[in-house]
Structures are given as C-alpha cells and as structure tokens.
Structure 1
Amino acid sequence: MPVILIVGATRGLGASLAKTYASESTNQVLATARSSSPPENANNLSYIPNIDISSTQASKTLVEYLDAHAIKHIDIVIVTAGYFATESLQKPSFEAQETMYKTCVIGPTILVTALANHSSSLLDSNSKVILVSSESGSITLRHESEGGGNYGHHASKTALNMSSKLLSLDLKDRGVAIVAVHPGFMRTEMTKNVGFDKFWDNGGAVTPDVAAKSLADWIETFDISKTGQYWAPRGAADIGTAEPVLGPKDKLPTPLQLPW
C-alpha cells in the first residue's frame, strides 16, 4: 500500500491533495494539521495533529508519530504548507518576511532532512519528495511588466527552490527524487486574503481540486531523471510573465520546466 504524506493538508491545495489520494483505496494517506483538533480520520486518511511547519518542534513531532504508527517507508511526500503576506517598497514587513521564510523554506527543508536522517528506509529509491513552490520564485520570470514588491513571498520561494536543488544533490545517491513545483494559480483563501482574487478570472486561476488532480497526475510521471528540477505541471497558462520572458504561451509545452 503506497504511503503518501501531505504536509499542510487542512485547506487549499493540501486538503484537495489529501482527498485526491484518499479516493484511491489502495493508498494510505497521512495528512498533517497545525491544530490539535484536526478533521476526523476516514478510512485510509489519517490526520497528524500539532504539525506547525514554522515551529522547531514540527519535525520531531512528525517523526514520533511515524514511529508510533509503525510507518517504515514513505512513497510520496508533498509539502504544501505556505504563508503569503503582501509588501511594497513603502510598506515592507520584517515580521511577515520572517514568517514566510520559516513557513515556506526553513520548515520544509528541516522536515525533509529529518525524514532522510531518521532511517535509510523511510526515504529511499522508491520515494518522491515534492516541494510546492511557485513561479514567483523564478528570478528569470520576474519582469518589469509585473513590477517589484512582495519581497518575502518571491524570495522565500526562490530559497525553497535552492533547498530543493541542494536536497536533490544530497539524496541522489539514495535514489530519492526531489522537485520544486508551481502547481498553478489557485482560487484559495490565501490568494483572496491578499487581494489576488481580482486577478482570478483574467489570470486563469483554478480551484484547488483541479490543481491537485493535475499535480497528482504529473507526480505519477516524475522520477529520478527529473530530480533537482523545477516544473509547472499545468504549463504557462497562468504565468503572467511567461510570454515576455519565454515566448508565446501556445508555443510552450505542458507540463513546462521552469527556469530558475
């Protein structure tokens, strides 16, 4: 029975991924929640409480849960947890940037290293690690048509991409495949809360269920030959700077390997 661990699974993309994978009765889905009172377990879907990825205790709590429930191997790890706060030249935020870095890059990096170091069998040549990033982390795709600002959002995703690359180098000999992905522009509370709902229609935003399905389908094709890379499973349709940087969207492939 394949074991799928989804970190950040109570809302948005994470919740949709948990539902998508749990719809296959042959999967064992482990879904983390920050709350001490997560949703109730259902059939092959189990929630792990008290996993706040921005906390120094998250990895320890997770590994203790895996040991207590005799989880010896994980086939797919998907880290979706994120935090987004807007900034401008006139209104930067030290506190918001600190939270974004902890949530979007430090926490995921420490969690993957904890899993890798816990035992040689927990992550092995049959394991895939997917770190949910964003096209916003691509330095190449930043273009004057978009402007600046949102420093912590963009830079934390760029840092996550670097961690993904470095982890792929550290774990390649073990055969663990690691990738950073842009799952798509989504109609979520996170994007709504920062005012991005005004771009949903023109920006090609999709629901988390749609993004989860396309990501899960792409993960089926992902293997060690693509480890250390950066992909957009849904292609360039929702990447506003794709055309001025990469060329006409209708000429770009789907899925699309993104530039760093």
Structure 2
Amino acid sequence: MPVILLVGATRGLGASLAKAYASVPDNYVLATARNTTTPANTKNVIYIPSIDISSPEARTNLLNFLHSRSISHIDMVIITAGYFATESLESPSFSAQEKMYRTCAIGPTILVTALANDSKTLLDASSKVILVSSESGSITLRHEKEGGGNYGHHASKTALNMCGKLLSLDLKERGVAVACVHPGFMRTEMTKGVGFDKFWDAGNAVTPDVAAKSLIEWIQTFDISKTGQYWAPRGAVDIGTAEPVLGPKEKLPTPLQLPW
C-alpha cells in the first residue's frame, strides 16, 4: 500500500491531489492541515492537524504524528503549500517577503530534511519528493515582456528550486528522487486573491483538478534518472515568457523541462 504525504492539502492543488490519490483504494493518503480543525466528510484521507509549514514546529508535529501511527516509510511526499503577496517597485513588503520565504522555501526544506534524518527507511530508494514550485522561480524565464515586481513571490520560488536541487544531491546516494515542478497556472483563491483572475482566460489557467491530473501522470514517469530537475508537466501553454525566451510554444515539448 503506497503511503502518500501531501503537505498543504486543504485547498487548491493540494486538495485536488488528495481527492485524486484517495480515489485509489490501495493508496494510504496523509494530508496536512495548517489549523487544528481538519476538513470533514473526507474519504480515504487521514488529515494531520497543526502543520503550519512556515513554523519551526511543523517538523516536530509531523514526525510525532507519523510515529504515533507507526509509519516507517513514505513512498511519496508532495509539498504544495504556498503564499503569494503582490509587490511593486513602489510598494515592497518586508513582512510579506519574509512570509513567502518561510512558507515557500524554508519550510519545505526543513520538512524534507526532518523526514530524511528521522530514519534511513522513512525516505529510501522507493521514495519520491515533489516540491511544487512555479515557472516564476526560473531566472532564465524572467523577461521584459513580464516586467519586474513581485520580488518575494519570484525569489522564494527560486530559493525553493535551489533547495530542491541541493536536496537531490544529498539524497541521491540513498536513491530518493527529488524534483521541482510548475504544475500550471491555476484558477484558485490564491491567484484570485492577488487579482490574477483577470489573466485566467488569456493565460490558459486551469482548475486545480486538471492540474492535479497532469501532475499525477507526470509523477508516474518520474524516477531517480530525473532527480534534481525542474519540470512543467503541462508544458509551456501557460508560461507567458516561454516564446520570447525558449522559442515558439508549438515546438516545445510537453512535459517541458524548465531552465533554472
């Protein structure tokens, strides 16, 4: 029975992944919630409360839960937790940037290292770690067409990509495969909350359920031979700077390996 740990699973992509993986009876799905209360009426999903990935206590709370359930091995870890606050040259935000780094880069890295250090079997040669990043974390893809701003959002994703690469090097000898992914531009409360819903149609945004399906299909093909790489399972369809940087979208493959 594959054990799947989803971090950040109460809404958006995480909730869609939980629903999709739980639809397979053989899967043992663990899903974290930031609050002490967890979603009701969930089928085949065990929710772990009080896992705020931006908090230092997240690793201890998670490990304590795993130990209480005698879980000694995890086949897949997918970390989807994120935070997005908009910024401009005229209105940068120290507090927002700090929260984005803690949530998007520091927290996921500390959580994966905690799992890796807990025992040699919790993450081993049959384990995969998927860090949900964004094409916004690619320095190569930043282009004048898009402009600047959103410093914390872009840079925290770039930091996550670097940490994912370093984790892949540290865990390669153990056989743990680690990847960073851009799951796609999604129609979520997060993107709506920062006003990006006005770009949904032009930007080919999809629902979290559609993005989850594409990501799950890609994960099935992912193994240690691709560890330390950065991928867009849905290709370049929703990456606005892909053409000026990488060339015509119709000539780019799907899935697409992204440049750092």
Which residue of the partner structure matches residue 206 of structure 2?
Answer: 206
1:232 and 2:232 aligned: yes
After TM superposition, give the deviation of residue 227 of structure 1 in Å. 0.2
* CA distance in structure 1 between the partners assigned to 2:132 and 2:233 by the alignment: 11
After TM superposition, give the deviation of residue 43 of structure 1 in Å. 4.5
Q: Does the CA contact (< 8 Å) of 1:41 and 1:47 recur in 2?
A: no
* CA distance in structure 2 between the partners assigned to 1:83 and 1:215 by the alignment: 20
Which residue of the partner structure matches residue 112 of structure 2?
Answer: 112
Which residue of the partner structure matches residue 34 of structure 1?
Answer: 34
Which residue of the partner structure matches residue 139 of structure 1?
Answer: 139
Q: How does 1:139-178 map to 2 (within 5 A)?
A: 139-178=139-178
* CA distance in structure 2 between the partners assigned to 1:205 and 1:161 by the alignment: 22
Which residue of the partner structure matches residue 196 of structure 1?
Answer: 196
Which residue of the partner structure matches residue 101 of structure 1?
Answer: 101
Q: Secondary structure at the match of 1:61?
A: helix
After TM superposition, give the deviation of residue 95 of structure 1 in Å. 0.3
Task: Note the residue ranges of structure 2 that are not aligned, 5 or more in a row.
Answer: none
* CA distance in structure 2 between the partners assigned to 1:42 and 1:202 by the alignment: 34
Q: Secondary structure at the match of 1:87?
A: coil
Which residue of the partner structure matches residue 89 of structure 1?
Answer: 89
Q: Secondary structure at the match of 2:166?
A: helix
Which residue of the partner structure matches residue 216 of structure 1?
Answer: 216
Task: Note the residue ranges of structure 1 that are not aligned, 5 or more in a row.
Answer: none
After TM superposition, give the deviation of residue 41 of structure 1 in Å. 6.5
Q: Which deviates the most, 38-47 or 183-192?
A: 38-47
Q: How does 1:3-14 map to 2 (within 5 A)?
A: 3-14=3-14
* CA distance in structure 1 between the partners assigned to 2:52 and 2:45 by the alignment: 19
Which residue of the partner structure matches residue 75 of structure 2?
Answer: 75
* CA distance in structure 2 between the partners assigned to 1:183 and 1:168 by the alignment: 19
After TM superposition, give the deviation of residue 44 of structure 1 in Å. 2.5
**CA deviations over 1:76-116 (Å, ceiling 9, x no partner):** 10000000000000000000000000000000000000000
Would you identify which runs of 4 or more consecutive aligned residues in structure 1 move more than 6 Å? none
Give the length in aligned residue pairs: 260
TM (norm. structure 2) is: 0.99
Q: Secondary structure at the match of 2:165?
A: helix
Letter in 2 for 1:210: V
* CA distance in structure 2 between the partners assigned to 1:101 and 1:159 by the alignment: 8
Letter in 2 for 1:101: Y
* CA distance in structure 1 between the partners assigned to 2:159 and 2:43 by the alignment: 37
C-alpha distance 159-33 of structure 1, shift in aligned 2 (>3 A):
same
Q: Secondary structure at the match of 1:13?
A: helix
TM (norm. structure 1) is: 0.99
**CA deviations over 1:178-202 (Å, ceiling 9, x no partner):** 0000000000000000000000000
After TM superposition, give the deviation of residue 48 of structure 1 in Å. 0.2
After TM superposition, give the deviation of residue 42 of structure 1 in Å. 4.1
* CA distance in structure 2 between the partners assigned to 1:44 and 1:114 by the alignment: 26
* CA distance in structure 2 between the partners assigned to 1:254 and 1:68 by the alignment: 41
* CA distance in structure 2 between the partners assigned to 1:258 and 1:220 by the alignment: 18
After TM superposition, give the deviation of residue 169 of structure 1 in Å. 0.2
* CA distance in structure 2 between the partners assigned to 1:70 and 1:187 by the alignment: 37
After TM superposition, give the deviation of residue 151 of structure 1 in Å. 0.2
1:18 and 2:35 aligned: no
